[in-house]
Structure 1
Amino acid sequence: MTYLPRTHRLADLTWPEIDELRPHAPVAIVPLGATEQHGHGMAQRTDTARAEAVADMVARRMSPQVVVTPTIPVGMSEHHMAFPGTLTLSPVTLQQVVVELVTSLHRHGWRRIFVLTGHGGNNSAVDVAVSRLRAELTDTHIAWSGVTPVVSDLVKANADSPVRGHSCEIETSQALYVDPELVLPERLTRGSATLDDLNPAGRLARSHPGINFPQGYDALSPTGNLGNPRLATAELGALLVDAVVDRICGFLTGLIGLPDRRPAPPPAPIALETS
């Protein structure tokens, strides 16, 4: 008989339930979000809601093999601080939050952990945190991803705006699918959607792929968003999010099949020549 937990959310379970579930759930997902502006027509919790929704969908699909921690609702959003209400953590703080949360999971027996960020601004801190954790937790597999980058091929095939990436038709479509209350359709406003819409620094940043030249969103777009969210549809959101879930489930299935990591053996001593 398959073990069926009452829920996959760790915060909603009692400790005896978690103790019973743990042998059946080898993977823990850690969702990360943000509280930041998303233009005139979308809520500040959008990135948090997308990460949480995808994590929940993956856990339901793979039940009982996956548990989900509480979502971290504030991330690295300094580039949005010109807009009222945005909250931000420093890179060092977010990195340490991820390290300590994952270390807590490790102390309770989890050896396969997936960090899922709904906000691209978190990427650099997450990457460093995962590098630290791989060195410190040598028996643990740790992976991470964003939401939209997992389906970059579908984004390229379905996006309309040459310049996009924040509160555009792609992100707004995902929001309409996972939680329509995130979106105020009558207030959606076209943002900077072409290179000509950007200021000189923004055009320089966006016209040289592979070169990082970060810009605050107040310099990129007076509305705070890129692309054209008016083109968003829940149908496109379903196509994208369902594909994200499919692909993450496929990866986690493979991750479960791996043996635990083991520390690399020390290098062989170098023989010194004697005369």
Structure 2
Amino acid sequence: MPIAPRSHRLADLTWPEIDDLRPHAPVAIVPLGATEQHGHGLAQRTDTTRAEVVADLVAQHLSPKVVVTPVIPVGVSEHHMAFPGTLTLSPITLQQVIVELVTSLHRHGWRKVYVLTGHGGNNATVEVAVTRLRTDLPDLHIAWSGITPVVSDLVSKLSESRIGGHSSEIETSQAMFADPDLVLPERLTPGSSTFDDLDQAGKLSRSRPGIHFPQSYHDLSKTGTLGDATKSSVEIGARLVEATVERISGFLQDFLDLPERQSAPTLTRIPQETP
């Protein structure tokens, strides 16, 4: 019998409701965010809200097959700590929070989990946490992504700045669509948008594809932004967010169809010819 849950958010449901919903909702999304500076015109919760909104839209698209956990609102943001109000966790702390949250889901029967981070600074930590979980919970299917990288082809077409990223026209447009209250349009300012805006270390950090040379954001931009947020629009944000939701939903539809992961691999030996 079809089920129409009162909410896809676990925190909004009672435990009997969750118990009834669980067999019909085999995928759990874990959204991750950050509380960090986003320049003069974007709220500190921008990454958190973007992750929550995308997770909610995906869950609505696939209802009732997906549930969403409470968002983790603070991430790895050490590279933004020069700006007042930024909060950060150490990578090992965030890693442990992810592992323990997903382990809680596993203990209640979820075997398919999708971690969605709205903050690129969480990426390395998420990858390590996922590796640990795959080792500790051999029957768990777990996948993860950011938001903007899922639509990188659209980003390259819609971005006007040679250098983009944090609080750029791309992220600001997503924020305008996700929650207009995140944005103070009159305070949006261009950030470092070309190589000429960067110092020597900043130029080197972005000069060789595949080579990682991280820089703190106060060294990359005096305002903490890259790209030109004044070129943002709700229309661009809608295209990006809707495409992200469509692509993640498509992946999860196939994810739902995966057979259970076996706790031990099945190997096939190829017979060797006798000399």
Q: Report the TM-score when normalising by structure 2.
A: 0.96
Q: Which residue of 1 aligns with 2:241?
A: 241
After superposition, the C-alpha distances for 1:10-31 in whole angstroms (9 at most, x for unaligned) are: 0000000000000000000000
> In percent, how many aligned pairs have the same letter?
70
Question: For structure 1, which runs of at least 5 residues remain unmatched after alignment?
Answer: 269-275
Q: Which residue of 2 aligns with 1:215?
A: 215
Partner secondary structure for residue 226 of structure 2: coil
Q: Which residue of 2 aligns with 1:10?
A: 10
Cα deviation, residue 266, structure 1: 8.2
Q: Which residue of 1 aligns with 2:151?
A: 151
Report the residue type matching 2:119 in the other structure: H
Partner secondary structure for residue 264 of structure 2: coil
Distance (Å, rounded) in 1 between the aligned partners of 2:157 and 2:231? 14
Q: Which residue of 2 aligns with 1:261?
A: 261
Report the residue type matching 2:186 in the other structure: E
1:140 aligns with 2:140: yes
Cα deviation, residue 253, structure 1: 0.5
Partner secondary structure for residue 165 of structure 1: coil
Q: Which residue of 2 aligns with 1:41?
A: 41
Partner secondary structure for residue 255 of structure 1: helix
User: Where has structure 1 moved over 6 Å in runs of 4 or more?
Assistant: none
Q: Which residue of 1 aligns with 2:32?
A: 32
Q: Which residue of 2 aligns with 1:95?
A: 95
Cα RMSD after superposing both structures: 1.2
Q: Which residue of 2 aligns with 1:177?
A: 177
Distance (Å, rounded) in 2 between the aligned partners of 1:160 and 1:209? 20
Partner secondary structure for residue 190 of structure 1: coil
Q: Which residue of 2 aligns with 1:228?
A: 228
Q: Which residue of 2 aligns with 1:60?
A: 60
Q: Which residue of 2 aligns with 1:22?
A: 22
Q: Which residue of 1 aligns with 2:196?
A: 196
Partner secondary structure for residue 143 of structure 1: strand
Distance (Å, rounded) in 2 between the aligned partners of 1:71 and 1:119? 12
Report the residue type matching 2:3 in the other structure: Y
Cα deviation, residue 72, structure 1: 0.3
Partner secondary structure for residue 67 of structure 2: strand
Distance (Å, rounded) in 1 between the aligned partners of 2:77 and 2:91? 10
Report the residue type matching 1:79 in the other structure: H
Distance (Å, rounded) in 2 between the aligned partners of 1:5 and 1:169? 36
Between the two proteins, the alignment pairs up a number of residues equal to 269
Cα deviation, residue 209, structure 1: 1.1
Partner secondary structure for residue 29 of structure 1: strand
Q: Which residue of 1 aligns with 2:113?
A: 113
- Relative to structure 1, is the Cα distance of residues 265 and 53 closer, same or farther in structure 2, using a 3 angstrom cutoff? closer
Cα deviation, residue 264, structure 1: 2.9
Q: Which residue of 2 aligns with 1:124?
A: 124
Report the residue type matching 1:262 in the other structure: Q
Report the residue type matching 1:34 in the other structure: A
Report the residue type matching 2:176 in the other structure: L
Cα deviation, residue 208, structure 1: 1.1
Distance (Å, rounded) in 1 between the aligned partners of 2:159 and 2:85? 28
After superposition, the C-alpha distances for 1:183-230 in whole angstroms (9 at most, x for unaligned) are: 000000100000110011000001111100000000000000000000
Distance (Å, rounded) in 2 between the aligned partners of 1:93 and 1:262? 29
Cα deviation, residue 265, structure 1: 4.0
Distance (Å, rounded) in 1 between the aligned partners of 2:32 and 2:115? 7
Cα deviation, residue 255, structure 1: 0.5
Report the residue type matching 2:127 in the other structure: D
Q: Which residue of 1 aligns with 2:84?
A: 84
Report the residue type matching 1:44 in the other structure: Q
Report the residue type matching 2:23 in the other structure: P
Report the residue type matching 2:135 in the other structure: A
Distance (Å, rounded) in 2 between the aligned partners of 1:165 and 1:58? 24
Distance (Å, rounded) in 1 between the aligned partners of 2:266 and 2:186? 62
